[in-house]
Amino acid sequence: MQLEKKYKFSHDRQLWRLIPDESGKIIIEERNTDTKEVFFNCLDIDSGNEIFSSFQMEEKFWIGVETIYKEIIFFHKYQKPEMPGHKGIIAFDIASRETLWTNSEYSYLFVKDEKIYCYESLFEGRKFYTLNYKTGEILEDLGNAAESVNSLMEEENSAEKYEDYVFPEVFDSAQNISDEAKKIINSFREERVIAGKIDFAVYSSLLIFNAHEVMPDGKLCNIFRACDIEDKTLLVDQILNKSSETFIPDSFFIKNDLLFVLIEKVSLVVYKIKS
């Protein structure tokens, strides 16, 4: 097993979200909480080549991404600043870099079979609709059919949607992984003072994990390692966060044969996994 470093992405802004799509792209959302600005970047997921960079909407901060569907990014605004509820749908075409349509009254739920499922908040309850994903035109007025809409949403968000991903799990001695993988993690833990959990994932003969080592000053050093389980070789030994007072979760994941690793919360490194 080998890891080939493909590219590194960083604008020295905090990486907020990484959103791969099914057409070979990844959207990277960056936020500057001091200046209250959000920036969106689109890369070719395999090469790292930028399709667009540091893009901003008219609203500079209170906006985020719902999903990407057929090379259209669906943005949302918020019901109120600093409140979590989403409101509004903005459809942005990646190829043309243009907004296709905007709806300020409805809130996005999910997309299925080229239909946007959304709802309008009423004084009592919600009213549901489907919209044409390209134009925003109302296709169906579903009334208050919350039960059927929720059922469709559960189908759309089933585990099958994420079958191309490997996300980290919390390691424990009863984990259903090989004895060799357990030995590697346990040996690492015995050599250091580790605080909190160890997150790990196994992909074929590749073992990846990260843990927080307690440093002499009491702060935490977040260490990432990638190892070949079969031949016991260390492929990557990387410090993800040099000095932290809190645990840094969700530091890596795999999609298909690409490994994504977050460093110091402002950099993304992508490796190609090769047998």
Taking residues 110-117, what's their average pLDDT? 95
State yes or no: pLDDT of 93 exceeds 80: yes
**Alpha carbons 198 and 204: distance in angstroms, whole number:** 19
Q: Mean pLDDT over residues 13-27, rounded?
A: 94
Boundary of a domain, candidates 161, 196, 218: 161
* Cα pseudo-dihedral 165, 249, 273, 201, rounded to 10: -70
User: Looking at the 3D structure of the chain, how many domains does it have?
Assistant: 2
State the average pLDDT over residues 235-250: 90
pLDDT digits 0-9 by tens, 181-212: 999 999 999 999 999 999 999 999 999 999 99
Tell whether 205 and 223 lie within a shared domain.
yes
Q: What is the pLDDT of residue 175?
A: 85
What gap in Å lies between CA 133 and CA 140, rounded to an integer?
13
**Per residue in 66-90, pLDDT tens?**
999 999 999 999 988 777 889 999 9
| Contact by Cβ (8 Å): 72, 91 | yes
Last residue of a domain, one of 113, 141, 161: 161
Distances from the Cα of 155 to the Cα of 2, 31, 110, 112, 213, angstroms? 36, 32, 11, 10, 40
The overall average pLDDT reported for the chain is: 94
Same domain? 123 vs 29: yes
Please tell me whether residues 134 and 173 are part of one structural domain.
no
The answer as to whether 151 is a domain residue is yes
| Domain end residue (candidates: 115, 130, 161) | 161
Say if pTM beats, i.e. exceeds, 0.85: yes
Same domain, 131 and 186: no
In a domain, 20, yes or no: yes
| Cβ 106 vs Cβ 88: under 8 Å | yes
**For the chain, counts of helices (H) and of strands (E):** 2, 22
Q: Are residues 150 and 95 in the same domain?
A: yes
Torsion 219-224-230-232 (CA) sign: negative
Q: Are 147 and 38 in the same domain?
A: yes
Q: How confident is the model at residue 123 (pLDDT cuts 50, 70, 90)?
A: confident
pLDDT of res. 124? 84
148 and 19 in one domain? yes
Q: Is residue 80 part of a domain?
A: yes
96 and 176 together in one domain = no
Let me know if residue 79 belongs to a domain.
Answer: yes
Residue 106 domain-assigned (yes or no): yes
Reported as a single tens digit per residue, the pLDDT across 228-240 is 999 989 999 999 9
Mean pLDDT of 8-28: 95
For the chain, state the CA radius of gyration.
21
Q: Tell me, yes or no, whether 115 and 17 share the same domain.
A: yes
**CA 214, CA 245: separation in Å to the nearest integer?**
10
Please report, for the domain that includes residue 21, its CATH number.
2.40.128.630
pLDDT in tens, 163-187: 999 999 999 988 889 999 999 999 9
pLDDT at 166: 95
Q: Does residue 72 share a domain with residue 205?
A: no
Residue 6, pLDDT > 80, answer yes
Whether 260 is in a domain gets the answer no
Residues 210 and 114 in one domain: no
Query: 120 and 43: one domain?
Result: yes
Q: For residues 146 and 125, give the distance between their C-alpha atoms in angstroms, rounded to a whole number.
A: 9
The boundaries of the domain holding residue 247 are: 165-255
Q: What's 190-223 look like in SS3?
A: HCCCEEEEEEEEEECCEEEEEEEEECCCCCEEEE
pLDDT for position 128: 97
Q: Does 85 map to a domain? A: yes
> Does 194 fall in a domain?
yes
pLDDT of the residue at 211: 95
Integer CA distances (angstroms), 89 to 78, 96, 199, in order: 10, 18, 35
